[in-house]
A and B are shown apart, each in its own frame.
Chain A
Amino acid sequence: MKALKDYGDDDLELARDILDKQVVDREETKMGRVDGLVLELREGLPPRVDHIEMGGVVLARRLSPRLERWVDGWRRRFGVRKVARYKVPWSAVLELTSYHLKLDVAALETPNFDWERWLRDHVIEHIPRPLKGKKE
């Protein structure tokens, strides 16, 4: 990881400082949150964070396995989001600050943006758009 800002001498806590944190891509587009953290247990060595997981199914699992199945059922029915759990290896983390976790990916190409893309192509493109996002 290239940058670990704002943490100074404090201990970094997985649940407090990483789980649920805002995730952004290379361009700092907000692309989801750290919905799950997966550790790798190694013989004779301390556990290590293997990858982070993102997706509604991951969130639902944190509440109950039944809810997870239910959410996954709806995901399949809509058929927009193809990958239930988007997994990103810890090695792709570029930066960890007190307000975000930056990944070395392009948000638009990830499963997290399946719905965003679908809505854009099927709905937003058909409505006359205002000239926003060009100020300052």
Chain B
Amino acid sequence: MNAKKAATLALGILTSVGGFFDVGNIATSVQAGAVFRLQLLWPLILGTILVIFLVEMSGRFAAVTRQALPDAIRTHLGFAAWLGPFLILSLVHFLVLGAEIGGICFALHLITGLPVPFWALPVAALTWLFLWRTSFSAIENSTSLLGLVTLAFVVAAWLHHPPTGQILAGMLPTLPHHDPVRYWFMAVSLLGAVISPYMFYFYSSGAVEDKWDDSYIGVNRGVAFIGMGFGSVISLAAIVVAAVVLAPRGIQVDDYHQAALMLTQAFPFWGFVLFAASMAIACLGAAVEVALSMAYTTAQTFGWNWGEDLDPREDTRFCLIYTGAILGSALLILFGVDPLKLTLLTMAINAAVLPFIAIPFLLLMNDRKLLDKHCNGWISNGITLLTVLLSIVLAVVSIPLLIKGGS
């Protein structure tokens, strides 16, 4: 493997930091660990397997056709078929962007003590500046490098010597010992946090930005596996730490303040700062990814010029979309929407909209005219169908749970 191809791992880690271990995962993992200890590791494992397959498929699609998913779906399924999923995806992008910006604001609030809404506009400006100034590869590299801070969770989990047997047992689905409504609601939210629908759309656009071709098919497999595996290990570690530190003290994490102390046992002095830094970086990576994803999807839907490496003069509408999205979703936080509540809501919505987003994707992955011998085999189709079925069940289950169980 040459250096350029090895560097594509950065796309995997960026996608992972942004789409996987983001504000949604911090919130759901920490809550799951605090309330159900190690019993809810299985939704994470299940979600990870599904996500590895979905990400591999979208990368393979981009490598073979040189097209990103929104682009190809509009071309091959037509405008009328794509409009619904596109509008749903735009709403998801907008809400998730709000949650991520809220996450960064919260991390800054933890460190400075200033109120969350105070940070909304400075954070929006910073996120925007990051996108405006940097090239795609610089975003990939800086975010994946900074994302390594989140490994603090893994180190903390290690230092606590968690019970290995219980961890392995938690990886298999079991019935809850208490609070069944809350248990299933959390299982749904964990899955929704892992399988973010915008993730594989983003990944395919990133692969086009990085100019992948057929020779990347093998690399793509590794990137999907390692990138998503990275996010998964960190989320697992977050559950473990919450289970060991928060659960015995009866802390149920009704807001992020309670979560912020979870690393202080492993790192007495640095724990608080590490938590805030991990949160800020994971959320910044995610905010950048989601804002870009929204701009990619919109520009491709209407056929505008797009690309993070272009001079903004050449794709003004692309820049307008991410600028507007960042500003609009920062207003949610400025006007006092609670970041944790917004996050939990978006995770449930994620699970609910997944069928609409995954079905057009599955149709394309089976198009011989487009993919020829790189079409989906029965394993990939089976996994995607399972994901779609699962997400339909989740959708049916999550909405009543959201009303009944809440958090």
Contacts and interface: CB of A to CB of B under 8 A. Distances in A.
A72 interface: no
B317 A115 contact: yes
A119 B306 contact: no
A94 B370 CA distance: 22
Contacts of A23: 303
Contact of A22 (B75, B314, B369): B75
A99 B65 CA distance: 8
B314 A133 contact: yes
A19 B320 CA distance: 26
Contact of B302 (A16, A33, A132, A135): A33
A124 B80 contact: no
A31 B303 contact: yes
B304 A30 contact: yes
B80 A62 contact: yes
A115 B305 CA distance: 12
Contacts of B302: 32-33
Nearest to B306: A30
B3 to A, nearest CB: 15
B74, B76, B314: most-surrounded residue (chain A CB, <10 A): B314
Nearest to A108: B314
A31 to B, nearest CB: 7
B309 A116 contact: no
A35 interface: yes
A99 B316 CA distance: 23
Interface string A25-46: 0000111110100000000000
A3 interface: no
A59 B309 contact: no
Contacts of B311: 129, 132-134
Interface in B323-343: none
Given A20-B79, A30-B304, A30-B306, 14 more contacts: A22-B71, A22-B75, A31-B305, A33-B302, A33-B303, A62-B79, A116-B304, A116-B305, A119-B320, A123-B316, A124-B316, A125-B313, A132-B312, A133-B309
Question: Which 8 pairs, one residue from A and one from B, show the smallest C-beta to C-beta distance?
Answer: A33-B303, A133-B311, A119-B316, A32-B303, A30-B305, A130-B133, A133-B310, A132-B311
